């Protein structure tokens, strides 16, 4: 989606984003208040980057996604889009095949940092 926005969209851009990504105020999605800094959102709120939504993240998070983030003591804005893509794709594949998610995710991936962001690396065989 082409947009003129910098860090914070204007109200009409925000409405377009809500429609594009199926974001609902019922789920707690709010237009950023004046003066909110993206690196320190208000208590109880998170920042979600457009690239994260582009790779398949849907809000609210699934129980698996939420538990994975809690276990690794991070939040969604700390992950690279590639890490989010790995989580979403892995979960879809496991659910389609009735596989226990948590055990297999830890078997295939380990959590690590790249610069100031985090991702899940594949274990080497």
SS3 6: coil
pLDDT at 112: 84
CB 66, CB 102: distance < 8 Å = no
pTM of the predicted structure, to 2 decimals: 0.67
Spans of all domains in the chain: 1-45, 48-125
Backbone angles phi, psi at 22, to 5 degrees: 55, 50
Full pLDDT tens readout for the chain, 125 residues: 444 444 667 888 888 988 888 888 887 888 777 776 666 777 777 777 787 888 788 878 888 888 888 888 888 888 888 888 888 888 888 888 888 766 677 777 878 888 778 787 876 55
Q: From start to end of the chain, where are the E strands?
A: 109-114, 117-122
pLDDT at 7: 60
pLDDT at 53: 83
pLDDT at 6: 47
CA atoms of 73 and 24, how far apart (whole Å)? 26
Enumerate residues 6+ apart whose C-beta is below 8 A from 32.
8
Q: Give the residue from 26, 81, 29 showing the smallest Cα distance to 53.
A: 81
CA end-to-end span of the chain: 39
pLDDT at 123: 67
Residue 86: exposure state from Cβ atoms within 10 A (0-12, 13-18, ≥19)? buried
pLDDT at 80: 84
pLDDT at 75: 81
SS3 82: helix
Q: Give the residue from 80, 73, 10 showing the smallest Cα distance to 52.
A: 80
């Amino acid at each position: 989606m082409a947009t003129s926005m910098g860090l914070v969209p204007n109200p009409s851009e925000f409405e377009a984003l809500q429609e594009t990504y199926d974001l609902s105020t019922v789920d707690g999605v709010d237009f950023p208040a004046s003066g909110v800094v993206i690196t320190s959102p208000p208590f109880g709120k998170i920042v979600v980057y457009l690239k994260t939504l582009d790779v398949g993240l849907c809000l609210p998070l699934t129980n698996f996604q939420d538990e994975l983030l809690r276990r690794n003591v991070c939040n969604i804005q700390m992950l690279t889009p590639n890490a989010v893509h790995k989580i979403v794709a892995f979960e879809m594949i496991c659910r389609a095949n009735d596989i226990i998610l948590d055990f297999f995710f830890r078997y295939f991936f380990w959590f690590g940092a790249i610069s100031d962001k985090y991702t899940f690396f594949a274990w080497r065989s």
